[in-house]
Each structure stands twice: as structure tokens, then as C-alpha cells.
Structure 1
Amino acid sequence: MADAFATITQRRMTGGLRIDGLDGKNIHIDPGPGALVRTYQFGLNPLKLDAVLVSHSHTDHYSDAEVLIEAMTRGMTRRKGSLMGSKSVIEGYKQFGPCISKYHLSKPDVSVLNPDKTAKLDNIKIKGTKTVHGDPTAVGFNLKTKDFSISYTSDTEYFEGLYKYHEGADVLVASVIRPKNERIRGHMCTEDFITLVNEVSPKFAIMTHLGMKMLMNDAKGEANIVKEKTGVNTVAAFDGMKINLSNFVSRQKTLYE
């Protein structure tokens, strides 16, 4: 995923991320522009989705959500799958959203997630996590099974106590838009992520939603700095990145970025 300028220029693909095989479920998170096309490009099947998760009402996170809902529900012919998202995405909040039409809300199970509110996808617990972002209802997601947890910060600036929402995560995925200590409102920079990784102590960390400055200033090098300062294996996401998570769970899970 990428910031607004990277989205407009498509300097970085904006299809979001997909988790396949998590306790037998396939989940697409934050399907921005091109999510459907990229799904097919990287050999995945949108008809096999079990859930669509949308963190907030900014276009680069939700624009392909409705078409993925149509795929998940077999062209809106079946009551199937789950849709989980922030209040702005599902219901609308002030000038934000709603982002999903009443028609597309009619087939999946729908859950509005607030910080610390938990919904279930069979045996997977999905908890909303707090953010500080332009959309005041925006959430991240913590997905937890019996023996594995993956946490996604979505877009947020660093704040005291952020780590509490992601504690226990085996894999931490975070939007890190700027390099070094170049902070902007509503987003994290590399220095913020170093602090968060040290606090959460995941087994593996992924930097995504990389902004133009990050992309032009050696994102891989920034990830290496995080690794050096935290001791946690850290990577910067790239288009089409596929990570096998079998090192962190008892059976194979796969995350696509």
C-alpha cells in the first residue's frame, strides 16, 4: 500500500494485503485501487474470500471493497462472508463515508469495529485497534487464532500506548510512510516504528504504506535500520511480495502484499 501521491501516480500498487489460510480463512485487508486486478495478477482468487476488512474511509484503503464483496458473495447472489470496518466505512461519520453501499452491505455479515471491540470469523478473533489519523474512527486490526497473531496498525501516528493494542503479535504490519524521523500528522516514520517494534517485540515486522519520500530514500535500508536497532527481522513491503509465515505458526499461513 502507499500514500495518496503514490496512489495517484501508482508508483506503488495499492491493492492492500491478503492473508490466505489463516485458520482456513482468506482475508483481504484495505483493498484500495486495483485490488481486484492485482488479486488475479498474483494468482489469487477473489471468489474464495471469507472476509474483507477496511480500516478507514480514505480512498487508497477502500475503493475496491465493493467489487471484492461482490466476488465474495458470488455476484451478490449468496449471503456469504464477513465485512468488518470502521464506523466511517460502514455507517459514515461526519464528512467521512460511508464507503460501502446499502446494497453491498446486504449480503455479508457486517461488523463495525471500534478500538478494543472484537468480532469473530469462526475461530479467528478480530479486534479493532486504536489509531490517531485524519479519519477519527479509523482502526487497525489484530487477528488472533489459537496459536498465532498478526496485527496491522493501519494509518496512525505513534502515540503513547499504541503498543498495547498490538501486544502479543507474532507478526506486526505497520504503515510507515516517512523515513528516519520525518514525522507528519497521522502517520509513522521509521523512528516511530523502531519504538513500536521494541515495545511489541514481534517475531517479524513489515513496513508498508510507504510514502514517496520513503520510496525515494531506500525503504530497504530503513527496514535494515529497524532490524539493527530492535533485533527483529524487518522488511519493507514491495509490490507482489509474498511471505510464508510457517516459521511463526504451527501450520503454513501465507501473507500477500
Structure 2
Amino acid sequence: MKLTILGYWGGYPINNEGTSSYLVESEGFHLLIDAGSASLISLENHLDPLELDAVILSHYHHDHVADIGVLQFMRLLKRKNNGEDRASLLPIHAHTENAAGFAALTLDRVSEGVAYKETDKLNIGPFEITFMRTLHPVPCFAMRIKEVKTEKILVYTADSGFLPDFVPFSEKADLLLADTNFFEGMEN
């Protein structure tokens, strides 16, 4: 399993660096976790965005989804093989607790919103993903991503204040990716 950090700032981009977005790859499968501001530009330094196999979103705040529309539009317009082939339909996995946000994930012949719930265990390519609701002003879910073949585990907290449940959720993780910032007065 390979993790590439495409953006990590919370709230807004800073100094030409984007907001939350991570590329996880295994066995030729490319999974984008969140798609914050400037993530598409950063992704292009590592992978043609047409080669993405799936996207998964923790929640719908702009610093985690700002480039979803841009990614959809690029996949609508850009073609492979000298302009002949359209990119495959891109599944975008997300929760449905924000109906308008979820509805925007489906774009005819470009992308399809695929719902998950906190209790689900998803199999996406070579990964098995489980969820934990975080402490955040809007519904947001941490992810425990297991590479099935190697049983390596990546835990992504997404946005959250501290929760004791993170301890068992992160147990035996090979890598804990804590997406956090500490603006004064917003420490939780």
C-alpha cells in the first residue's frame, strides 16, 4: 500500500499547498480519499486523474470536496487514446446524511455517488474499509483502510475532536493519518 499526500491544510489552501486529499494505491488500484482544494493539480503530478478507480469522501466540507466538481468536469471533457475513449464511470463513495452533497456526486456518464453508512464494511478494489463517526459539526467519518492482501492498515481520522473510540479504532494500524488543525478557539 502506498500513500501520497496531495493536500493537508485544513480550512483553506496555504502557500500553494492544498487542503485534505490523499491517494492510496495498491495492486494498480488508485483510490482518492477526499478531494480538497488544489488536489486535482497535485494529483496530476503523480497520476493521470483519468486513471483513478474510485473516490471516497469523509464529509462534505469544502476543504475536503472542493475539487470533486473540477474532477468530474475534467473526466467529462478529457479523453484517453488520442481523444477517442471516455474515462470509465467513477464511483464516489460517501455518506448520505447530506442529501444535496451526495446528489452532486452523480454526473451522467462521468461519476456515480455510492452510499455508505457508518456500520458498513466496504470492499473497494484491494481495500476493505470500515468507518467511525467523528466529533465534527457535520456528519463526518474516519476510515480504517485495510489492504486485504498484506493486512496493512491505514487509519484516517478525517476531521474530529478527540474521541476515546479512536484508540480501539486505530489499534494495530501501520499508519495513523490524523487530519487536524488547531485554530484558536476551535481546538475541539
Aligned partners of 1:49 and 1:72 also within 8 Å: no
Q: Quick one: structure 1 residues 110 and 126, their matched pair in 2 at CA, closer, same or farther if it must change by over 3 Å?
A: farther
Tell me the equivalent position of 1:204.
none
Gaps of 5+ in 1: 188-257
The letter of the residue matching 1:141 is M
SS at match of 2:23: strand
Q: What code does the residue aligned with 2:96 have?
A: K
CA contact (8 A) 1:65 1:100 kept: no
Structure 2, unaligned runs of 5 or more: 1-7, 80-85
Give the SS at the match of 2:19.
coil
Alignment counterpart, residue 27 of structure 1, candidates 31, 51, 59:
31
The one-letter code sitting in structure 2 at the alignment partner of 1:61 is H
8 Å CA contact 2:88–2:110 kept in 1: the answer is yes
Which residue pairs with 2:155 in the alignment? 151
SS at match of 1:104: coil
Is 2:13–2:37's contact at 8 Å kept on the other side of the alignment? no
TM-fit CA distance, 1:68: 2.5
Offset at 1:171? 1.0
Cα shift readout 1:22-52 (whole Å, capped 9, x = no counterpart): 2431111111111112222x23211110111
Q: Give the whole-Å Cα distance in 1 for the aligned partners of 2:123 and 2:157.
A: 19
TM-score when scaled to structure 2?
0.75
Matched length: 173
Query: Quick one: structure 1 residues 164 and 110, their matched pair in 2 at CA, closer, same or farther if it must change by over 3 Å?
Result: farther
Partner residue, 1:84: 93
Structure 1's 106 and 138: CA in aligned 2 closer, same or farther, altered over 3 A? farther
Question: Which of 172, 176, 179 is residue 172 of structure 1 equivalent to?
Answer: 176
The answer to whether the Cα contact below 8 Å between 1:142 and 1:151 also exists between their aligned partners in 2 is yes
Higher relative helix content: 1
CA-based RMSD: 3.0
Deviation sequence 1:33-80 (CA, Å, 0-9, x none): 11112222x232111101111111110100111333455678695653
> Per-residue deviation at 1:113?
2.6
Of 41, 49, 54, the residue aligned with 2:52 is 49
Q: How does 1:84-103 map to 2 (within 5 A)?
A: 84-88=93-97, 91-92=98-99, 97-98=100-101, 101=104, 103=106
Shift of the 122–28 alpha-carbon distance from structure 1 to 2, 3 Å rule, reads closer
Partners of 2:87 and 2:17 lie apart in 1 by: 34
Asked whether 1:2 is paired with 2:9, we answer yes
Specify the SS of the correspondent of 2:180.
Answer: strand
| Closer/same/farther in 2, CA of residues 168 and 73 from structure 1, 3 Å limit | farther
Percentage of identical aligned residues: 20
Aligned to 1:63: 66
Would you say 1:162 and 2:166 are equivalent positions? yes
Q: Distance in 2 between matches of 1:38 and 1:102?
A: 21
**Cα separation, partners in 2 of 1:103 and 1:28, compared to 1, 3 Å:** closer
How does 1:107-126 map onto structure 2 within 5 Å? 107-108=110-111, 110-126=113-129
More strand by share: 2
Per the TM alignment, residue 126 of structure 1 is displaced from its structure 2 partner at its CA by 1.6
Per the alignment, residue 186 of structure 2 pairs with 184
Change (3 A) 1:43 1:9: closer
Q: Which residue of 2 aligns with 1:141?
A: 143
Q: Secondary structure at the match of 2:50?
A: helix
1:82 alignment partner AA: P
